[in-house]
Amino acid sequence: MSRTDAESVRGVEPVEPLGGLGVAMAATLKRDLTLAARRRSDIMNPLAFFALVITLFPLGISPQPALLATIAPGLLWVAALLATLLSLEALFRADYEDGSLEQLLLAPQPLPALVLGKVCVHWLMTGLPLALMAPLLGLLLALPAESYLVLSLSLALGSISLSLIGAIGAALTVGLSRGGVLLSLLVLPLNIPVLIFGTGAVQAAIIGDPVGPHLAILGALCCAALMMAPFAIAASLRISING
Partner 1 sequence: MWAFIHKFGSPKWFYGISARLLPWCWSLAVMLILVGSVWGLAFAPADYQQGDSFRIIYVHVPAAFLAQSIFVSMAVAALVFMVWKIKVADMAAAVMAPLGATMTFVALFTGSVWGMPTWGTWWIWDARLTSMLILLFLYVGVIALRGAFTSRDSGARAASVLSMVGVINIPVIKYSVDWWYTLHQPASFSITSRPSMPVEMWWPLLLMVLGFYAFFIAITLMRTRNEILRREAGKHWVRELAAGGA
The 8-class DSSP code of residue 146 comes to: G
Q: In this structure, are residues 50 and 80 in contact, taking their beta carbons and an 8 Å threshold?
A: yes
> Does residue 91 bind partner 1 (CB under 8 A)?
no
Determine contact, residues 165/236, Cβ cutoff 8 Å: no
| Least gap, CB of 90 to partner 1 (angstroms) | 19
Q: Which 109-168 positions form the footprint of partner 1 (CB under 8 A)?
A: 168
What whole-number distance in Å separates Cα of residue 104 and Cα of residue 116? 12
Non-local (6+) Cβ contacts of 66 within 8 A are 142
Residue 233 and residue 167 in contact, taking contact as beta carbons nearer than 8 Å: yes
Scanning 42-50, 99-107, 142-150, 179-187 for contacts with partner 1 by CB under 8 A, the matching segment is 179-187
Near partner 1 by CB under 8 A: residue from 192, 208, 209, 212: 192
Q: Is the Cβ of residue 90 or residue 186 nearer to partner 1 in the bound state?
A: 186
> Is 180 near partner 1 (CB under 8 A)?
no
Between 5 and 89, whose beta carbon lies closer to partner 1? 89
Q: Which is nearer to partner 1, 49 or 197 (CB)?
A: 197
Burial 151-178 (b: 16+ CB within 10 A, else e): bbbbbbbbbbbbbbbbbbbbbbbbbeee
Which residues inside 211-240 make contact with partner 1, applying CB under 8 A?
221, 224, 228, 232, 235-236, 239-240
CA distances from 43 to 74, 113, 139, 165 (A): 23, 23, 22, 19
C-beta of 29 vs 235, nearer to partner 1: 235
Write out the residues near partner 1 by the rule CB under 8 A.
Answer: 168, 172-173, 175-176, 179, 182, 185-186, 188-190, 192-193, 196-197, 200, 221, 224, 228, 232, 235-236, 239-240, 242-243
